[in-house]
Chains A and B, each alone.
Chain A
Amino acid sequence: AQSVTQLDSQVPVFEEAPVELRCNYSSSVSVYLFWYVQYPNQGLQLLLKYLSGSTLVKGINGFEAEFNKSQTSFHLRKPSVHISDTAEYFCAVSLTGSNYQLIWGAGTKLIIKP
């Protein structure tokens, strides 16, 4: 069965330090990949998505992610985090030919330490 694994439930990091949030998926078919962010007391919003083309995808707020097909990963990175990045980050996968229904990871809480 297809699944999405976010390996860390929480990631604490100091302000202005780099961060990587990990996402791995399992699928036997081609996928489309997404990262969504949920700020406190808000709904989710799209950070970035990979559909095709360059495996390095740039999103909003200085985030980027790299699709690695051989490792079935789509890790999210930011070179320098700010207190405003405190949020929960969700990785999701859409399978081709599946009505494009999203399969979600359980989320990673990014905690910024001053």
Chain B
Amino acid sequence: ETGVTQTPRHLVMGMTNKKSLKCEQHLGHNAMYWYKQSAKKPLELMFVYNFKEQTENNSVPSRFSPECPNSSHLFLHLHTLQPEDSALYLCASSQDQTGVGNTIYFGEGSWLTVV
């Protein structure tokens, strides 16, 4: 069983829909991340939460809205997405954001298709 669980694993949504991706980590970590993975491109860091506070927003469009109610849960709310937003969205966690050489633990990802 993975220490980072993402649901749903697959999501198809229309451009006018509102949906959410959910992530839960069972590792006792304090930092959680959202990454976007597109084919043949480096992983794109979207958001970072450290001790429930958002510390990074890498110029992500406002149609993506993160929420971190506690250190174990992370959501990505999706609203009026574009077809180019179709990708694998990976949630990850680590002990904290600033630890030297901290290992990042990833979930299996949520495949998002925008039609």
Task: List residues of chain A with CB under 8 Å of any chain B CB.
Answer: 4, 9, 32, 36, 41-46, 49, 51, 90, 94, 99-107
Contact = CB atoms under 8 A, between A and B. Distances in A.
B49 to A, nearest CB: 13
Contacts, number: 54
A4 B42 contact: yes
B53 interface: no
Contact of A106 (B40, B103, B105): B40
A104 to B, nearest CB: 4
Contacts of B65: none
Interface string B46-63: 001000000110000000
Interface of B: 2, 4, 40-43, 45, 48, 55-56, 90, 92, 97-109
Given A99-B97, A100-B97, A106-B41, 5 more contacts: A44-B106, A49-B101, A99-B56, A100-B100, A101-B56
Q: Is the interface of B mostly helix, strand, loop or mixed?
A: loop
Contacts of A106: 40-42
Contacts of B41: 106
A103 B2 CA distance: 24
Contact of B108 (A9, A41, A107): A41
Nearest to A39: B108
Contact of B107 (A32, A43, A99): A43
